[in-house]
Amino acid sequence: MENTNAYVREPKQERSRLSFDRAVDAAVSLLVERRAATFTLAEVAERAGVSTGSIYGRVDSKDDLLRTAHAREMTRMSVEQTEALTADAPEGETFPETVSRLVHTAGDLLRRNAGVLAPFMVMGPHDPVIAELGQRSYREFSDAFSAALLARDEITHPEPARAAAWSCTVVYSVLARWLGLGSAPDAAGEGDWDVILDDLAEMVTAFLTGAPRG
């Protein structure tokens, strides 16, 4: 995923770029702390050790700063998830072990990035730019997860590609709910995380390799 800078004016000096990078870092830090964009550009500037004017020199608004931060974080996560989900399988790994590894990898990725994902998921329904990029990131996640499953020959479901994509949807949805991402933050933490991962792996394995339906 490319980091789009459509909302940022390119700096004329390296010092300006570094200053703006600190502002983006500060915006992300505040988002993680407050789980929402409940802060001002003045607060961002104070935390970053830059002037508010220098931020306005690069973006027109707080919304554009948040979109820039979101694009940067989605790009970082895209690299992480691609590397993790496309890693070579250990020699001799069975299909159930492959499914378990992928489910646990998905869990690790989501849990590690939950603090950043949560506020942006809240913003998505109200910001089409953030929503579109977030959807693109999920499609990349789903494609990599599905491709790793489809690389195996053990799937007996009559529609392997759809079944693999649906498996990712279920895994992502259950884990996102546990992490309090999206529209149901009150459901966060329900159940034992490790048990949920094991149950998901068992469910996906059964779904993909069960007897064909009539």
Tell me which residue has tokens 């990035």. Answer: 113
CA dihedral (125, 129, 135, 138) positive or negative: negative
Per the prediction, the chain carries an average pLDDT of: 91
Task: Give the pLDDT of residue 186.
Answer: 67
- Given a contact cutoff of 8 angstroms between Cβ atoms, the answer to whether 164 and 146 are in contact is yes
- pLDDT level of residue 175 (50, 70, 90 thresholds): very high
Cα dihedral: 62, 79, 121, 198 (round 10): -160
Q: Cα–Cα distance between 156 and 147 in angstroms, integer?
A: 15
Query: In this predicted model, what pLDDT tens digit does every residue of 31-48 receive, in sequence order?
Result: 999 988 999 999 999 999
Query: In this predicted model, what pLDDT tens digit does every residue of 73-95 receive, in sequence order?
Result: 999 999 999 999 999 989 999 99
Fold (topology level) of 14-209: Tetracycline Repressor; domain 2 (1.10.357)
- Given a contact cutoff of 8 angstroms between Cβ atoms, the answer to whether 116 and 39 are in contact is no
Task: Give the pLDDT of residue 214.
Answer: 52
- Checking if the pLDDT of 183 tops 70, the result is no
Q: Cα–Cα distance between 166 and 169 in angstroms, integer?
A: 5
Residues belonging to the chain: 214
Query: In this predicted model, what pLDDT tens digit does every residue of 147-160 receive, in sequence order?
Result: 999 999 999 999 99
Query: In this predicted model, what pLDDT tens digit does every residue of 6-24 receive, in sequence order?
Result: 778 877 788 888 999 999 9
Query: In this predicted model, what pLDDT tens digit does every residue of 188-205 receive, in sequence order?
Result: 777 899 999 999 999 999
- Given a contact cutoff of 8 angstroms between Cβ atoms, the answer to whether 70 and 120 are in contact is yes
In the predicted model, what is the mean pLDDT of residues 57-78? 94
- The residues spanned by each domain of the chain are 14-209
Task: Give the pLDDT of residue 212.
Answer: 58
To the nearest 10 degrees (0 to 180), the angle between helices 14-34 and 95-123 is 100
Task: Give the pLDDT of residue 2.
Answer: 46
Task: Give the pLDDT of residue 13.
Answer: 80
Which pTM value belongs to this model? 0.88
- pLDDT level of residue 164 (50, 70, 90 thresholds): very high
